[in-house]
Chains A and B, each alone.
Chain A
C-alpha cells in the first residue's frame, strides 16, 4: 500500500456516518487506496447506480450509497469510501434503468449485482455447503489481499513442445477416500500430490475451470441413483477474476487466493506449469429464464450476444453467449487474463469453445477477430501458452483454421478421432496416423507441429480405459435417458461391454491403453493426458460426467495397485518422450537429409523397410526418426523406430539398417507382460536380430538406435 497519501484523499461527502468522495475511474473493480476503497463500475445504459455494502455474511446491508451524478465519468461510476474493513466487507451494486427485453435491456434495481471485476466471491465458501436460498445477495463481491510473497517465482516458460500436459479437475483429483490426503478435493491437496506428478513425468497441469461457479446450479435429485446432480465440472462462470472458494481448504476463511497461489508457487518450484481452462463463451446467468447475478443487470446489451428480439444467442449450448468482440467485453477478458498471468503467475490458458471468441456481435464468424488478435499480441500475455478448443456448439469447427497469429495452439480433435479409429482396427487410417505422428502438417503446415495439442481422451467423452471397455455410452446416471453426450466415441470394447473377468480381454484392454499412450508420447506436437488415465481410471462408460460429485469423477487411487502395469508404462513413456528431443521438434519434418547423416529426418516403413503401405486395407505403419536431425539438427539424439500394428495378427517388420557402429535396442513392446513392455532410459536391451522384429497383433514397438 502506498505510504505517500495524496492530498486529495479526503472525504467530500457523508451519509449515515460513512465518508466518501469521487473515485478513480480506473482500474475497474474495488481496489485498496490509503484509508479507503476505490469502487469503479461500467454501465452504458443505466440511469442510476447505488453501491451496496455488507458486513461479511450479514443478511442486510449496512449501507447503500447512491453515486452522485458528478461521480459519473462517461459510462463509469466511481467512488472512494473511507474507513471500511476490507477483510470483512462484501459489496455489490444496484443499477436502475429500463426493463425492455425486446430492446435488450433487463435492468432491475431490486436486485443486488455482483461486480464483474470482483477478486473473490463469497456465498459458496465451502463445496456443496447448503446455501441460504433466501439470501438477497447470494454471490457477494469481496476484496482480496494482493501482497502474496512469491519470492523469486516466475512462470516457467517451458517451450510448448516440451510439455506433457495433465488435464485435471481440482476436486476430482483427490476427493476419493483412497487419495489419502489431508483436505481432499482442494488446491492444498494437489500440493501434496506433487511428488506423484513428478513421478508420472508430467510437467504441466491443466486445471478444469477454477473461476468461481455455483456447484448448486440446476441441482436436483438424481432420478436413477437418488443422489444429487450438481454442476461438478464448473463450465459456468459466476465471476472471471475469482478462484473457486469451494476448491480451497481455507475458502471458509476467505483465503482461497493465498492457497491457490501457494499451490502454483510449489508446482513451479517442481518444474510443473499451470494452465487454466477458461470459459469466456458464456456465463452462469443462463438464458432469459435464468437468474440475474451480475452482467445481465449491469449492461445486458454489452455483455451478451442478443437476437433482434432481445433473446440470447446460444452458441455455447448453455443458454447465453458472452459478447466477446464487443470492445468493452474484450477489454474485460484481456484484463482478466492479464490479472491471472501477472498476479497468479499462470503459464497458459486453454479456451473452452474458443470458436465463439471469433464471432462478431451478431454471431457471424470474423476473419480477423479483434479479441483473438489482442490476446495474441498482448505484452503481458506474450509468453503465456494460448490454446483453443477450436469449435463451438453453434456448428463452427475451426481445427486447422483457427485464427492463430503465430501464437495459438489448439486441441486437435482430428488427432483424437484418428488415433481412436486406428487403435480399434479401422481400415484406411494409416495416412492419418502418419499425420498424427508428424504433428499433422496437413493441418498446421504454416503453424508448425506445436499448434497441435494431441490427445486421445479428455474430460469430455470416454476415459482412455473406457475407450477399450465400451462400445456405447452409458449415461443413464445423468438423468436424461442416455440422450446426452456424444455418440461418435470411436471406441471398441474388446469383446464384452463393460467389466469382465475374461483375462484375455482385460489383457487386451491394458495393451490398447499402452498403445494409445505410446502413440501419444511419440507424436510431434504437445501431448495431453487426462488425469487418471495413467492408472486406467473408468467412468463406467459414462461419457458426459459433468454432473456427478461421486466415484464417476473421483480418481480412484486404488487403481495404482490394480492397474500397476498401466501406471508403470505411463510413467516410463512420458520420461521416454522427455528424454528424446527428436520427438519434440518445433518445426515440421522436411522428409530429406539436411544434416548429412545419410538418413532423412523422418522416413516411413511397413512390414518391409522403406516401403510403407498406405493402402486403404493397411493397418501397419513404421516410422524412423533420425537422431541426427533432432531439434532441426541442433542436438544429437538416438534414432527412434516406431512400429504400429493395429492388425489382429502378429507381423514381421523388417528394420531399416542403422549406420555402422549403431544397433537397435528395445524400448517398448506393448505385447509383452509388465516388466518387459517398457524399459527405463539407458536400460534398453540390444536386440539379437537387427534385421526384423515380430510385432504382435494390436501392438506397438519402439526401438532406439544408438
Chain B
C-alpha cells in the first residue's frame, strides 16, 4: 500500500494505492491523521484500493470524527462496489459522501 498526500488549494487529497488491511492500516492512519491536521476539507481517493478490512474502515471513521469536530467535510472517491457493499451492510456508509471522480470531490469541497 502507498499513500500520497497532495494539496489542491484548501482541499487536501489523500490518495491510496493497494490493499488496506490490519498490516497497512496504521500507515494509512498516520497519513490520514496528518492530512486532517492540515485541512478540514479532505478527499480520500480509493480508486486504486481493491480490498479494505475492518481496520481500514475504522481509519475512515476516525477521519470522519476528527473532521466533523472541526465542522469540516470528508469525501470518499472511487470506492469499489465490493467495499461499498461492506460499508453499507455494516453502517459505515451513512457517515460519508461518496463520489466517482476526484474532480467532483474537489469541486464539492471548495463550494462547501
Contact = CB atoms under 8 A, between A and B. Distances in A.
A250 B90 contact: yes
Interface string B24-49: 01000000000000000000000000
Interface in A66-106: 85-88
A259 B22 CA distance: 19
Contacts of B23: 85, 88
A635 B27 CA distance: 61
What secondary structure prevails in chain B residues at the interface with A? helix
A147 B65 CA distance: 12
A249 B89 contact: yes
B55 interface: yes
B61 A255 contact: no
A696 to B, nearest CB: 49
Residue of B55, B57, B89 ringed by the most chain A CB atoms within 10 A: B89
B4 to A, nearest CB: 24
A366 B93 CA distance: 50
B61 A250 contact: no
A253 B86 CA distance: 9
B61 A149 contact: yes
Interface of A: 85-88, 145, 147-149, 183, 186, 188, 248-250, 253-255, 258-259, 261-262, 265
Given A85-B22, A188-B89, A147 B61 contact: yes
A119 B82 CA distance: 26
Interface of B: 21-23, 25, 53-55, 57-58, 61, 85-86, 88-92, 95
A259 B89 contact: yes
Contacts, number: 52
A186 B86 CA distance: 13
B54 A145 contact: yes
B91 A262 contact: yes
A62 B54 CA distance: 22
B95 A253 contact: no
Contacts of A262: 89-91
Contacts of A261: 91
Nearest to B95: A149
A255 B54 contact: yes
A255 B91 CA distance: 11
Contacts of A85: 22-23
Contacts of A87: 21-22, 25, 53-55
Given A85-B23, A149-B95, A253 B61 contact: no
B58 A147 contact: yes
Given A145-B54, A188-B89, 8 more contacts: A86-B22, A145-B58, A149-B61, A149-B91, A183-B89, A253-B54, A254-B53, A259-B90
A249 B90 CA distance: 9
* The 8 residue pairs across chains A and B that have the minimum distance between CB atoms: A262-B91, A87-B22, A258-B90, A188-B89, A87-B55, A249-B89, A85-B22, A255-B90
22 contacts: A85-B22, A85-B23, A87-B22, A87-B53, A87-B54, A87-B55, A88-B23, A149-B95, A183-B89, A248-B89, A249-B89, A250-B89, A250-B90, A253-B53, A253-B54, A253-B86, A255-B90, A258-B91, A259-B91, A262-B90, A262-B91, A265-B91
A439 B86 CA distance: 45
Contacts of B21: 87-88
Contacts of B61: 147, 149
A507 to B, nearest CB: 43
B31 to A, nearest CB: 19
A149 B95 CA distance: 10
A151 to B, nearest CB: 9
Given A87-B55, A88-B22, A250 B86 contact: yes
B67 to A, nearest CB: 14
Contacts of B88: 188
Contacts of A145: 54, 58
B13 to A, nearest CB: 25
A258 B54 contact: yes
Contacts of A249: 85, 89
A85 B61 CA distance: 19
A537 B54 CA distance: 38
A625 B89 CA distance: 46
Contacts of A186: 89
A427 to B, nearest CB: 54
Residue of B25, B91, B92 ringed by the most chain A CB atoms within 10 A: B91
B75 to A, nearest CB: 19
B79 to A, nearest CB: 15
A32 to B, nearest CB: 12
B51 to A, nearest CB: 9
A254 to B, nearest CB: 6
A261 B54 CA distance: 14
A145 B86 CA distance: 16
A572 B109 CA distance: 48
A85 B55 CA distance: 10
Contacts of B91: 148-149, 258-259, 261-262, 265
Contacts of B95: 149
B86 to A, nearest CB: 5
Contacts of B92: 258
A150 to B, nearest CB: 10
Contacts of B58: 145, 147
Nearest to A144: B54
A259 B86 CA distance: 9
Contacts of A88: 21-23
Contacts of B89: 183, 186, 188, 248-250, 255, 259, 262
Contacts of A183: 89
Nearest to B62: A147
Contacts of B54: 87, 145, 253-255, 258
Nearest to B26: A85
Residue of A87, A188, A265 ringed by the most chain B CB atoms within 10 A: A87
B22 A255 contact: no
Contacts of A188: 88-89
A186 to B, nearest CB: 8
A248 B95 CA distance: 21
Nearest to B89: A188
Contacts of B90: 250, 255, 258-259, 262
A186 B85 CA distance: 14
Nearest to A261: B91
B86 A255 contact: yes
Contacts of A148: 91
A188 B92 CA distance: 13
Contacts of B57: 255
Contacts of A253: 53-54, 86
Residue of A86, A183, A186, A255 ringed by the most chain B CB atoms within 10 A: A255
